[in-house]
């Protein structure tokens, strides 16, 4: 679903001037200031100017939110509803998200700097589809009867955990939140959501829509705030049964430590990536592979944990690949995020922009060559824009080949044969995604098996569907989002053994 042609950049700017985002904590079905009255400025990445003050929730607000969620869980206003009743409410929420698509897309773009066309066509519809899919799934999951002898009946049932805390990132704020909201609520849990301080607006609006859809107060609470305050308080809370986190590996480790040092709550982590995109000389379509490689790193300004940030290309076709990738990159120069024609928006904030630019300097200093881009642009806007950047001559040991940059920066590494490509691909701390391009099915299958990654694409990149799990190996995390496997994170298995006389 693309942006409506009749809605111009001028129209979107006019709407942006009129929008009044929700900006307070949302607890027990009501908006309220943070307990201590603290706020933070919510910065528009495209202009560098404040969108307004947002409540900075801290320990006291998290305590209130968890208590509200616990009370709702114990009284059974949601947890005791039959699956088909929970399904009805979640379907209504999905419908409301689509009915308010333009508003949600605008909030997402103002918060993150991503193109409005992407927010409209990808983020909001995908988030609504996620909620709808888990709504439809919840009354189709059956419990089990164990194969005991005739003198016993043993059942294996899934039960809601209780209160789930979710800490979500800023790159796909509503979609990543929906990956938690859908299965957490469908399973009958209560949820306390901590959105990133860089992108709190859609989470607050969707919580309000959930109440409108019929979700009881207290079941879905939102506490905006900083990671070291609200996020840490949620991860360390003694009355939270599970913490689900998406973000950097460094922060994921901190979340895991807090969970362990508190009540040993269940933890799921979807963390960083440095995904290899392997293109063999027998690639069936170099044009298609090059276009996919460009979008794998430039889409969403490269702010994707699964971004194809390492291009591993067989030496004989490297020049042809880079020429075609550069052509795509030149056509994706950063522009006004509220212009429907823009394909590349702003980096989320000044801190992240400086991080991206510092890695570009590191790459240059380590001896890699800039084949495209490499600079900040649109400075007159006051926003945080970095042009698509491609490095050539990257060695596997360089920092830009090892460390997650989280920006539109591609590191190109050549290899001679498949064995060398696999060795390079696996020689990082991460294992979130990978890809291989070849016309040989045997090579494709053997390479996919050898790559240590949660998702391996063959002759494509970033193909996706809610029905398949998403998560990583190694320091890319623990557990899986999406698909029916997400229910494993938010339910407990109970065995009930009945002796028969």
| Residues labelled as active-site residues | 270, 305
CA pair distance 104, 126, nearest whole angstrom: 12
Q: In sequence order, which residues have a C-beta less than 8 Å from that of residue 269 and are 6 or more positions away?
A: 245, 246, 252, 255, 256, 477, 478, 479
- In terms of Cα–Cα distance, which of 299, 411, 432 is closest to 366? 411
Please give the radius of gyration of the chain, using alpha carbons only, rounded to the nearest integer. Answer: 23
Phi, psi of 338 (to 5 degrees): -90, 5
**Pair 140, 91: CB distance under 8 Å:** no
Residue 347, classed as helix, strand or coil, is coil
Q: How, if at all, do strands 376-377 and 385-386 pair?
A: antiparallel
Angle (deg, nearest 10), helices 101-112 and 9-18: 90
Cα–Cα distance for residue pair 274/97, rounded to 1 Å: 32
Count Cβ neighbours within 10 Å for each residue of 118-149 and write b for 16 or more, e otherwise: bbbbbbbbbbbbbbbbbbebbeeeeeeeeeee
Residue 131 token pair: 């909620």
By C-alpha distance, which of 204, 140, 142 is closest to 168? 204
In angstroms, the CA 344 to CA 109 distance is 12
> For residues 454 and 297, is the Cβ–Cβ distance under 8 A?
no
Dihedral class, residue 456 (left if φ above 0, else alpha if ψ from -120 to 50, else beta): beta
In angstroms, rounded to a whole number, what is the distance separating the alpha carbons of residues 105 and 122? 10
Instruction: Decide if 268 contacts 478 (C-beta within 8 A).
Output: yes
Rounded to 5°, the CA angle 166-106-432 comes to: 40
Q: Which two tokens stand for residue 492?
A: 């407990």
d(CA 152, CA 174): 47
């Amino acid at each position: 679903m693309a942006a409506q042609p009749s809605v111009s950049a001028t129209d979107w700017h006019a709407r942006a001037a009129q929008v009044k985002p929700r900006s307070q904590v949302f607890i027990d079905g009501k908006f309220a200031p943070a307990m201590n009255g603290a706020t933070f400025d919510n910065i528009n990445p495209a202009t560098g100017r404040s969108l307004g003050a947002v409540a900075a929730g801290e320990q006291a607000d998290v305590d209130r939110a968890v208590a509200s969620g616990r009370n709702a869980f114990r009284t059974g206003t949601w947890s005791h509803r039959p699956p088909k009743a929970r399904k009805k409410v979640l379907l209504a929420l999905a419908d409301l998200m689509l009915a308010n698509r333009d508003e949600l897309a605008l909030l997402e773009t103002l918060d993150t700097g991503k193109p409005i066309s992407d927010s409209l066509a990808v983020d909001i519809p995908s988030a609504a589809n996620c909620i709808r899919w888990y709504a439809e799934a919840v009354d189709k999951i059956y419990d089990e009867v164990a194969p005991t002898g005739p003198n016993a009946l043993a059942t294996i049932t899934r039960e809601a955990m209780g209160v789930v805390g979710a800490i979500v990132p800023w790159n796909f704020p509503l979609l990543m939140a929906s990956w938690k909201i859908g299965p957490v609520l469908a399973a009958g849990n209560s949820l306390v959501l901590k959105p990133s301080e860089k992108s709190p607006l859609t989470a607050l609006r969707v919580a309000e829509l959930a109440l409108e859809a019929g979700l009881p107060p207290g079941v879905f609470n939102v506490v905006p705030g900083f990671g070291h305050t609200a996020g840490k308080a949620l991860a360390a809370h003694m009355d939270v049964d599970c913490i689900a986190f998406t973000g950097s590996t460094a922060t994921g480790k901190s979340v895991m430590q807090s969970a362990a040092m508190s009540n040993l709550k269940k933890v799921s982590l979807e963390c960083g990536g440095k995904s290899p995109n392997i293109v063999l000389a027998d690639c069936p379509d170099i044009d298609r592979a090059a276009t996919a490689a460009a979008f794998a790193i430039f889409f969403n300004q490269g702010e994707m944990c699964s971004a194809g940030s390492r291009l591993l290309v067989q030496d004989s076709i490297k020049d042809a690949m880079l020429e075609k990738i550069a052509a795509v990159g030149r056509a994706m120069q950063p522009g006004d995020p509220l212009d429907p024609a823009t394909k590349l928006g702003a980096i989320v904030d000044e801190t992240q922009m400086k991080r991206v630019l510092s890695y570009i300097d590191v790459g240059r200093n380590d001896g890699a060559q800039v084949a495209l881009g490499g600079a900040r642009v649109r400075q007159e806007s006051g926003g945080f824009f970095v042009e698509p950047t491609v490095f050539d001559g990257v060695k596997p040991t360089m920092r830009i080949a090892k460390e997650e940059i989280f920006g539109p920066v591609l590191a190109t590494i050549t290899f001679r044969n498949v064995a060398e490509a696999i060795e390079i691909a696996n020689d990082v701390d991460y294992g979130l995604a990978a890809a291989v391009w070849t016309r040989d099915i045997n090579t494709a299958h053997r390479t996919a098996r050898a790559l240590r990654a949660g998702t391996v694409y063959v002759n494509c990149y970033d193909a996706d569907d809610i029905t398949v799990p998403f998560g990583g190996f190694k320091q890319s995390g623990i557990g899986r989002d999406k698909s029916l496997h997400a229910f494993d994170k938010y339910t407990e298995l109970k065995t009930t053994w009945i002796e028969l006389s």
